[in-house]
Amino acid sequence: MTVKEFKLPDLGEGLTEGEILQWLVEPGQQVVLNQPIVEVETAKAAVEIPSPYAGVVKDLMFEAGTTVDVGAVIIRIETDAAGPEEAPANGEDPDEGKTALLVGYGPKAVSATRRPRRQPSEPAPVDGPDLPLLPTIPDSLHSAVKPVRHGGLEIGRAFERATAAASAPVRAKPPVRKMARDLGVDLATVRATGPGGTVTRDDVQRAAKVATEPVQVVPPVARKADGPREERRPVKGVRKLTAEAMVASAYTAPHVTEWLTVDVTRTMELVDRLKAAPEFAELRVSPLLVVAKAVLAAIRRHPDVNGTFEGEEILVKHYVNLGIAAATPRGLVVPNIKDADAMSLVELCAALNKLVAVAKEGRTAPADMAGGSFTISNVGVFGVDGGTPIINPGEAAILAVGAVKLMPWVHDGEVKPRQVMQLSLSFDHRLVDGELGSLFLADIGRVLEDPSTLLLWS
């Protein structure tokens, strides 16, 4: 029997550490080759790591929740020397102390799982003082008060009229007055509906009914006694990487943001037609598909937007790895569609569907987030009109897409209800000047206003 030590591998792109989310095995358990043994979260993804050995788990070197450096021994497995061979780690022998890369590791493809969402403590409601009720103002006083105009004379006259009306005797017949006394109703507070402002029997009965109805008092919500008033969480994983990347981008690339409001009625009509087309029967079609196609067409006309500023050089990419910012339980990720510019509309739609589904499940692999060249951030799904997005590091621009809203719009010389969307483009002013950024954004708007424009540019 031989005890093998397995070290935390480099999970891709030079990451130096990972957090052990959970162990999938326990000491004494029999494991087979390539069986998932541990779930680890890095700054880019949560992944399951397969076992490179077959045998019995002897020791788990770290508890769940521990952040471990790449190259540290995380598990010891007792193997049978005469048993099956261990999985090669990219051609390297783990016993030689070399760190294996997870990418391409063994015959089993690495799968990613969604990290369980932590439930934050609920905020405690704040108890406030009871507010006094305002006194009831007789309707006769309300009717006597006229709109206040500029000048003290008019204000004074309005006050005099209101005071006189409030002190005037209530008009009511003797039987009605007696009913009011018997029911304990103050006639001065009763809304008169009779001729000439006379209080009727129905008026008194209605006032008496309102006075005797029980008041529904809502008890104050007690503060939750078992929850903390404040909570601190460590910044790690995707959120840590995002924070570092956004700070680096914001304070390295000089950002400029331009806005464009577009009539997308024809785009929405196209989306409806695509949904009914047999080629899209198994796909989810959304306005984002047309936006993506518009961006790709505009990049083809203005390729410098698809570049990056690198020291003394400008790198222009003649391919488009189209990134789509996605909110996930682990934080914001930006996976990208490789060579999106070479795809047909159906292929692009399928790729968008897959990208969104994988991101929502928390299974986006690090390789899917690497090498992006242009990013779209669809803030419209949250009902937001627009914003000033921060450029994804290594790119030159990012487009924020707002919500589609029905608004009054001048169309063919008349004000009509139209579907309107707001676009906001942030770009690196070292590479993209105002003219280029404006032309690029205007081209996107032209396609969204009239998708047939794509035919002119093809």
User: Which residues are known to be catalytic?
Assistant: 429
Q: At what angle do helices 174-183 and 201-212 cross, to 10 degrees?
A: 10
- Cα–chain-centroid distance for residue 421? 18
C-alpha distance from residue 35 to each of 39, 48, 51, 86 (Å): 12, 9, 5, 12
As a whole number of angstroms, the distance between CA 335 and CA 353 comes to: 12
Q: Phi and psi (nearest 5°) for 172? A: -160, 145
Q: Name the helix (H) or strand (E) containing 417.
A: strand 414-428
What's the angle, vertex CA 194, arms to CA 190 and CA 197, rounded to 5?
70
Asked if residue 115 lies in contact with residue 46, where contact means CB atoms within 8 angstroms, the answer is yes
Q: Which residues of 429-442 are buried (b: 16+ CB within 10 A; e: fewer)?
A: bebbeeebbeebbe
What residue type is assigned to position 109 of the chain?
A: A
Of the candidates 386, 382, 257, which has an alpha carbon nearest to the alpha carbon of residue 332? Answer: 382
As a whole number of angstroms, the distance between CA 236 and CA 25 comes to: 25
As a whole number of angstroms, the distance between CA 322 and CA 217 comes to: 56
| Burial environment of residue 131 by CB neighbours within 10 A (0 to 12, 13 to 18, 19 or more) | exposed
Q: If you count DSSP H runs as helices and E runs as strands, how many of each does the chain have, helices first? A: 10, 19
Q: Which residues contact 416 (CB under 8 A, 6 or more apart)?
A: 408, 409, 410
As a whole number of angstroms, the distance between CA 418 and CA 443 comes to: 20
